[in-house]
Amino acid sequence: MTELLKRLLRWRPAVLSSLDAYEKWASRYPPHAHNTLMEVEEAAMRALIPDLAGKVVLDLASGTGRYGQIASDMGARRVIALDNSPHMLRANALPWRGLASCEAIPLQSESVDVVICGLALGHLPTLQPAISEIGRVLRTEGCALISDLHPDLFRSGAQRTFQGEDGKHYAVEHYPHRTQDYVAAAKASSMALDDQRQPGMHGERQGHPIVVALRFRRA
């Protein structure tokens, strides 16, 4: 077992709600992958991202704008960043951004070509409301890319942790969702699993998976 995994399994800091956690984390949360877990997750997501040239992309639960910036760099015509944390949004430099939850997206139905939602839906105890909203705003043949901490890793004791400005360590609330849970929720929202990645610390099929990245397409 790698040293990072040992540390993930050993930490038992105070668990905060996602809103409280990101209020404390925002000032130290840069808009790029800043730890090994995020680097592995981003590599998996990049492998699933389609051609974004000329597309309208929703960076859902955008945080400080990591995937929105990636989409802009890939030629997206417009990138919309939405997040329910005002503190994270204040650190987000994307021009089209707004305060909203994954469960109530303030966009018209069938108005988005691609939804990217990284490391966020695990903060929700149930998937269906957010997945339904993602399916609603996607255009026909549009796709949604969703990633999260792998449920098996979480059940082994791992948490997403960070150090606040007060020097203390905290964990973000998390609810493990299986791939089949996502697939069932997507099916109810006219989406089907199109591709997936479940890499370990050093890539696909190397060690126990630490993240899951899924791509759904709207029928």
The domain that holds 84 is classified in CATH as 3.40.50.150
Q: How far apart are CA 18 and CA 25, in angstroms?
A: 10
pLDDT category of residue 208 using cuts at 50, 70 and 90: confident
Region 178-190: mean pLDDT is 97
Confidence of residue 12 (pLDDT cuts 50, 70, 90): confident
Nearest Cα neighbor of 59 from 46, 50, 72 is 72
Number of other residues whose CB lies within 10 A of the CB of residue 203: 12
Reply yes or no on whether the pLDDT at 131 is more than 70.
yes
What number is the average pLDDT over the span 42-48? 97
Band (201; pLDDT cuts 50, 70, 90): confident
pLDDT at 2: 59
pLDDT score for 203: 59
Pairwise CA distance, residues 65 & 103, whole Å: 19
Q: What are the residues facing 80 on neighbouring strands?
A: 58
Into how many domains does the chain fold?
1
Percent of the chain with pLDDT over 70: 92
Read off the pLDDT of each residue in 146-164 and give the average, rounded to a whole number: 92
Under the banding of pLDDT at 50, 70 and 90, the label for residue 11 is low
Per-residue pLDDT reduced to its tens digit, 30-39 = 999 999 999 9
Question: Which residues are CB-neighbours of 12 under 8 A, at least 6 positions away?
Answer: none
CB 121 within 8 A of CB 148: yes
pLDDT at 213: 98
What's the pLDDT at 202?
67
Residue 155: CB atoms within 10 A of its CB come to 9
What does pLDDT average to over the chain?
93
Q: Which two tokens stand for residue 188?
A: 């109810």
Evaluate if residue 198 carries a pLDDT over 60: yes
Which domain range does residue 19 map to?
A: 3-218
Give pLDDT, residue 158. 87
- pLDDT at residue 177 greater than cutoff 90: yes
Burial 46-77, CB ≥16 within 10 A → b, else e: eebbbebeebbbbbbbbbbbbbbbbbbebebe
Average pLDDT over residues 151-175: 91
Q: Is the pLDDT of residue 63 over 70?
A: yes
Return the SS3 of 171.
strand
> What's the whole-number mean pLDDT along residues 202-218?
83
**Average pLDDT of span 148-154:** 94
Confidence of residue 206 (pLDDT cuts 50, 70, 90): low
